[in-house]
Amino acid sequence: MEFVIYSLLILAVSGALSMKNKYIGLAGALIASLLTAVNNPLLLMILVIAIINLASLDLMKGFLRGVDYTLVGLIFVATVYAFYSQSLAFLLGMFVVASVPTYMMVMASDTGMRVEVGIKYMTFMVIATVLFLIGAVLMVHASATSSLALYYIGFTMLIVGLAIEVGAGPFHEWVPDVFETADPIPISVIASIAKFVPFVVAFKIVSSTHMGDEVITLIGSILAVVSMLVGNIGALTSQKPARILAYSTVANMGYIIAALIVAVKEEFIYLAFAGAMLQLLTNSIGKIGFFIGIKEKAMPTVETYVLALSFIGLPPLMGFWSKLYILSSLVYANFIWVAVLLVLNSAMSVPYYVRLMKTFEGTKGYRKVAAYLITLTAVLMLLTVVPPNWIIESSKLLMSYLAIGGV
């Protein structure tokens, strides 16, 4: 844990110097990330995602001139510490640290600043952060004083804050607009690495404080199901790739919130956590690939197929295993109806991913770097041809850091 100070220092210094030469920012971000990297397969995967994000920033004429590297590095460091920290204050701090850099990133584009997008995004994010923080504190307080009513209020605030933060329905107002109007590359960061921390923190808070399980699982599962439906219906009725992907994010967040409700069952939480994290990995990798494609307005055909099929949840690609683990955790925890709805939703999602395939099929004219990165994302999706025991094992290791011990 003591490394966090060093990493943050390195990031700050390199970020400041990157105004002179942007690659100082890249070096600083890499060093800070590698300093924090730990011997855990899941975190290594997240590190790979961070590195792809860093590499993809090269595809835009960043007006942030190297600070964007620092920001991605910052999000990654926050993510690692969110996994390992057991103090509430630190966790909530990390939640903010992972969220704030995206405010700046979303405004970046090739031609200057996009303030109107930034304002819209920031408004929602600030509301989300406030709700989440108050909700989390209320939940911890309520579980210490065992006052059920207060706990319900806290949980509702937390889950609504979480939904706004990650863009789950029915609080997904900002997602399609921002995804469509902002530059694709920052969006690929927002849609990938920035999504981990909110869920990890939420998992920790829910699993260490839960009471009144029936009510909170009902709230959570209704939100999850609404999010899936809203996302899939929205994607089915969208034409532009960026909008389709925005709604697909909404649907994916619904799947992960479904896994979150299993956090009230001690014995299956490892499975739900593994499923949620793998689904986040799938979502991140796929979104990075597709948004680079949108940036280039073209993608290699085979890779497009692999990414889209993985989103559909076709075995043995990563998207299948993530849904499988989420489904098994739901089935184990006896939320059969959520499982069945999740299944129907994943079937509903087929047509629009096929539309995505068609959009990018046989397109030409992408840059070399983009092609490499997209190919890399496709290869990552193929990692799970061998059943991913590693995710279950890392999840079991991380279980010992779930309990929040005081402030």
Partner 1 sequence: MSLALYAFLIPLVAIIAAPFVRGKGASYLSSIVFILSFIFILSDFITKSSFTLPLFNALEPIGKIYLLGDTISHAFGFTIAFVSAMVALYSYPYMKHRFEEMDLNPDVEFRKYWFLYNLYAASMLWLVYAGNLILLYIFLEISLIASFLLIYYYGYGNRVWVAILYFVWTNIAGVLALVGILLIGFENKTLALDSIAGVSMLAWTLIFIGMMVKLPGLGPHVWLPWAHAEAPTPVSALLSPLTVGLAAYILLRIYLIDPSFILTYRWEIFIYGVITSVVAGFGVFKQTDHKRLLAYSTISQMGYILIAFSLGTAGIVGVIIQYISHAFGKSILFMSAGAIIATYHGLRDLDKMSGLHEQVPTIANAALIGFMNLSGILTIGMIGEFFILKGLVDTYGLSLDTMLLVVFVFIISGLYSFYTMKRIYYGRVRDYEKAKVNRLLDTPLYLIGAISFLFILPPLATWFVDAILTFLGGGI
CA distance 256 to 322: 10
Q: Which of 111, 386, 400, 406 binds partner 1 (CB under 8 A)?
A: 386
Q: Which window, 43-51, 75-83, 110-118, 336-344, contacts partner 1 (CB under 8 A)?
A: 336-344
Task: Closer to partner 1 by CB, 162 or 327: give it.
Answer: 327
Asked if 138 contacts 98 with a C-beta cutoff of 8 angstroms, the reply is no
The nearest distance, CB 253 to partner 1, in angstroms, is: 20
- Told to check if 389 binds partner 1 by CB under 8 A, we report yes
5 belongs to the binding site for partner 1 (CB under 8 A): no
Tell me the per-residue interface mask from 175 to 204 with partner 1, x by CB under 8 A, - otherwise. ------------------------------
Cis peptide before 316 (omega within 30 of 0): yes
Contact pick of 110, 113, 148, 351 for partner 1 (by CB under 8 A): 351
CB of 30 to partner 1, least distance (A): 33
| Contact (Cβ atoms closer than 8 angstroms) between residue 258 and residue 221 | yes
Q: Which of the stretches 62-70, 116-124, 163-171, 343-351 binds partner 1 when contact is defined by CB under 8 A?
A: 343-351
> How many helical (H) and strand (E) elements, i.e. helices and strands, does the chain have?
19, 2
Name the minimum Å distance from CB 62 to partner 1. 39
| Min dist. Cβ of residue 290 to partner 1 (A) | 19
DSSP code string of 155-180: HHHHHHHHHHHHT-TTS-THHHHHHH
- Least gap, CB of 22 to partner 1 (angstroms): 43
Using the minimum distance from each CB to partner 1, give the nearer residue, 119 or 344. Answer: 344
DSSP 254-284: HHHHHHHGGGG-GGGHHHHHHHHHHHHHHHH
Minimum CB–partner distance for residue 220 and partner 1 (Å): 19
Per rule CB under 8 A, is residue 383 in the interface with partner 1?
Answer: no
Q: 293 to 322, contacts with partner 1 by CB under 8 A? A: 309, 312, 314-316, 320
Q: 3-state DSSP call for residue 113?
A: strand
Q: Tell whether residue 324 is a contact of partner 1 (CB under 8 A).
A: yes
Q: Nearest CA to 325 among 269, 247, 250, 382?
A: 269
Q: What is the DSSP letter of 108?
A: E
| Residue carrying the six token digits 């692999």 | 306
Closer to partner 1 by Cβ: residue 212 or 316: 316
Please name which of 160, 151, 155, 161 lies closest in space to residue 129, comparing C-alpha atoms: 161
Closest distance to partner 1 from the beta carbon of 369 (Å): 28
| CA–CA dist 92, 353 (Å, integer) | 35
CA dist 39 and 17 (Å) reads 30
Q: By CB under 8 A, which span of 15-23, 24-32, 62-70, 386-394 interacts with partner 1?
A: 386-394
CB atoms within 10 A of CB 27: 16
359 binds partner 1 (CB under 8 A): no
Alpha carbons 348 and 19: distance in angstroms, whole number:
47
DSSP label at 360?
Answer: H
Q: Binding to partner 1 by residue 387, rule CB under 8 A?
A: yes
Q: Residue 348 CB, nearest distance to partner 1 (Å)?
A: 7
Asked whether position 350 contacts partner 1 by CB under 8 A, the answer is yes
**How far is residue 159's CA from residue 153's CA, in Å, rounded to a whole number?**
10
What does the alpha-carbon distance between residue 41 and residue 49 come to, in Å, rounded to a whole number?
12
* Of positions 89, 148, 222, 347, contacts partner 1 by CB under 8 A: 347
Considering the complex, state which of residue 197 and residue 339 has its C-beta at the smaller distance from partner 1: 339
Q: Which residues bind partner 1 (CB under 8 A)?
A: 309, 312, 314-316, 320, 324, 327-328, 331-332, 336, 339-340, 343-344, 346-348, 350-351, 354, 358, 386-387, 389, 392-393
